[in-house]
Each structure stands twice: as C-alpha cells, then as structure tokens.
Amino acid sequence: MKKHFLLIGLLMLGCLSLAAQRAGEIEGVADSFDRYNEILKALTKDLEHARDEKAMDRFDASLADFNRRWDLYYQAKSGLIGGNKELLEACTTFLNDKDNLEKAAVDKRAAIEGKAHFAAAAAFIAEKDTVYRRYLKAAKRYSQVPATAKLLAKIKAKEAILTGKLDEHYAAAGTGAQANPDLNIEELEEKYLELKNYSTQIQACEYKPFIERIKDWLLSFAAVAMILMFANMVWSKYQAIKQTRENMKKMQKELHKDDEIPSI
C-alpha cells in the first residue's frame, strides 16, 4: 500500500514538474514576443527615417536578418504557440504588424525610387531641347537635295533612338509621380510633348522636288485663305445680325412714338 501511494506521489510530482516546466516555456515565449516587438518598433523608426536608396538597402538587410531569426524561432516554438490561446493571439498580432511593416517598406522604396526617376527624367528632358532643335535644323537642310539623303537617314535614326530614351524617362517620371502625389508632372509633360512635336517634324522631313514643294506651299496657302474666308464670313454674319437688331430697336421706338396720345 505504501509503495502504491509512493508511486502516485511520484507521478503527481512529475506532472507538477512538467506543468511548471511548460508554464516556464510559455512565459519564455511571451518574453521573446516582447523582444521581437521591440525590434519591430526599432525597424519601423528606421523605415520612417530612410530618405534615400542606400538607407532603404540598409533597412532591407536588417529586415531580412530579422525575418530569418524569427523564422528559426517560430519553427522551434510553433507547437507551443499553437497550443496556447494567448501565445497564438500574440503571434497573430505580431505577424500582422510585421506584414504591415513589409508593405510600408515596399511603398517607401517605390516613393524614393520614383523621386529619383522623376528627377532624372526632368534633367534628361531639359537638356535634350537643344539636341532636338539641332536635329530638326539638320533634317530640314539635308532634305533639300537628294545627295544628302544618307545624312538625313542618319539624323532620323539618331533621333529615333533619342526619342526611345525620352519615352522611357517620361514613363518612369509618370510612375514616380503616382508614388509621390507632391510631384507636379504637368510642366514636365508640356516639355515632353514639345520634344515629341520636334520628333514628328524630324521624321516627316524628306526630299521633295521643287514642283512638289511649290505644290505644298500653295496647298498650305489655300488652307490659310479658306480659314480667313470662313472667319470673314462669320464676322459678316455677326455684323448683319447686329445691324438687324439695331434696326428693330429703332422701329420699336418709332412705333412707340406713333402710339402716344398728344395732351391738351
């Protein structure tokens, strides 16, 4: 009988010991969550202070190291965390905060890279104005005689390559402006469209015989003449309507005078 009670006592002591050990492990995991949350807060501050791509590179390296450490820890403690309601809730909250930080990091990098691309595009577009003007002047000169056809083709090829880069820079600037609402793309767009107009004129340059050029000039002159004629017709109609209104007013005044009864 004594041996039986002794065995029960030993089992109870073992259970209590296991319970105490498990409680200690749970408390240890809870303390670890506190430390991981503190690191997460520190990383959040680092992200807030990041102002350029180098700072973002340092942040990404720190975040990657943090994720590796967390993954190893979670793999070791996943069973304990899954079996305890409080630890599971703490883990869920921690993972949500970590996901939010990672999403914020992606947005922050996009904004920083967008500003850099926007600035690069603005500088590129500003400095290429003189290049396009030079190309246009050369294209018009080379299109005067057939002997310079190869030179004209070379200018067009150079301009096409330049415009390809122009389009790439402008597209990057547009993406940067979307990530940074404070950036104003309207002025950049105006200059971009101006350069695209130069591009159209350059690619349209080609040699034409003298007779063809005279014909084009006459057609353009005729178009201007038709516009002026239409404008003159509209103006004449306006003047006629205006005169008719004035005549109607005079007639109404005369009729009003005839209706007046003289007083004695």
pLDDT single digits (tens) 66-75: 999 999 988 8
Buried b / exposed e across 93-116, counting CB within 10 Å, b at 16+? ebeeebeebeeebeebbebbbbbe
| 228 vs 119, residue with greater confidence | 119
Q: Is residue 117 part of a domain?
A: no
Domain that holds residue 98: 25-112
Tell me, yes or no, whether 74 lies in a domain.
yes
Lowest average pLDDT, out of 15-19, 114-118, 219-223, goes to: 15-19
Q: What's the rounded Cα separation, in Å, for the pair 205 and 140?
A: 6
pLDDT of residue 137 exceeding 70? yes
Query: What is the reported pLDDT for 195?
Result: 96
Percent of the chain beyond pLDDT 70? 70
Looking at the structure of the chain, the number of domains it has is: 3
Q: Do 196 and 215 fall into the same domain? A: no
Cα Rg of the chain, angstroms: 41
Question: What CA–CA distance (Å, rounded) separates 125 from 172?
Answer: 12
Nearest partner of 113 among 58, 189, 187, 173, judged by Cα: 173
- Give the number of other CB atoms < 10 A from CB of residue 166: 20
In a domain, 18, yes or no: no
Same domain membership, residue 217 and residue 196: no
| CA-closest candidate to residue 65, choices 55, 76, 77, 57 | 57
Each residue of 245-256: pLDDT tens digit? 766 666 666 665
pTM attached to this predicted model? 0.61
Both 107 and 49 in a single domain?
Answer: yes
| Residues 161, 94 share a domain | no
Q: Are residues 51 and 63 in the same domain?
A: yes
Instruction: Evaluate whether residue 36 is within a structural domain.
Output: yes
Sequence-distant (6+) residues with CB within 8 A of 168 are none
Domain boundary among the residues 185, 207, 229 is at: 207
Q: Is residue 19 part of a domain?
A: no
- Can you give the pLDDT at residue 216? 53
Of 16-20, 192-196, 251-255, the range with the lowest mean pLDDT is: 16-20
Q: Please tell me the predicted confidence (pLDDT) of residue 15.
A: 45
Contacts of 90 (CB under 8 A, 6+ apart): 30, 33
